[in-house]
Amino acid sequence: MPHLISTVDVRPRVSYRTIQIGPILFEETPAEDDVVQIPGDGWSLTSSDNDFYPLVRLETWDGPAPKPTGAWNYERAFRSRMADRLAVVDLNGVDYGEIALRPGRYHLRLLCRGRDHLEAPLALDPFPPDGPHEDPLEVWVVQMWPDR
């Protein structure tokens, strides 16, 4: 049975509906969709809202990770080489947290729920919140385990 090695929860500030996660060293760039874009060495995740703080959880496992319980609106799987860390960064380059990795090839599972709470325009809020709401409106989970 696979074991959770490490996890980190971060609450990045979303601007222009974008959350950035990387580096992810794709040997062959996967197809993009309306949720995940693959610019350079990482993911650009499209949130449903602006000027808020979703929950982003990064998990490393020693084997195939069990899917978290609950309903998920989005799920996608990837394979990629990974460097020694994976970080969550906002559009201004602020690093909100990272998880350490052993460099190598990994399976990655990306899950999201809560994107249906609101479809915001791209315009930023003139009076954005100063910090996260107690209960995140949107939750993202990135699970990683070695590709053996």
| Residue ranges of domains in the chain | 4-146
Query: Which residue type occupies 115?
Result: R
pLDDT of 4 reads 97
pLDDT of 127 reads 56
Query: Which residue type occupies 62?
Result: D
pLDDT of 119 reads 53
Residue carrying structure tokens 């960064």: 89
pLDDT of 117 reads 58
Whether pTM > 0.95 for this model: the answer is no
Classify domain 4-146 at the CATH topology level. Answer: Substrate Binding Domain Of DNAk; Chain A, domain 1 (2.60.34)
pLDDT tens for the chain, 148 residues long, are 999 999 999 999 888 889 999 999 998 889 999 999 999 899 999 988 776 789 999 999 999 999 999 999 999 999 999 999 999 998 888 999 999 999 999 999 999 998 775 555 555 555 555 655 666 789 999 999 999 8
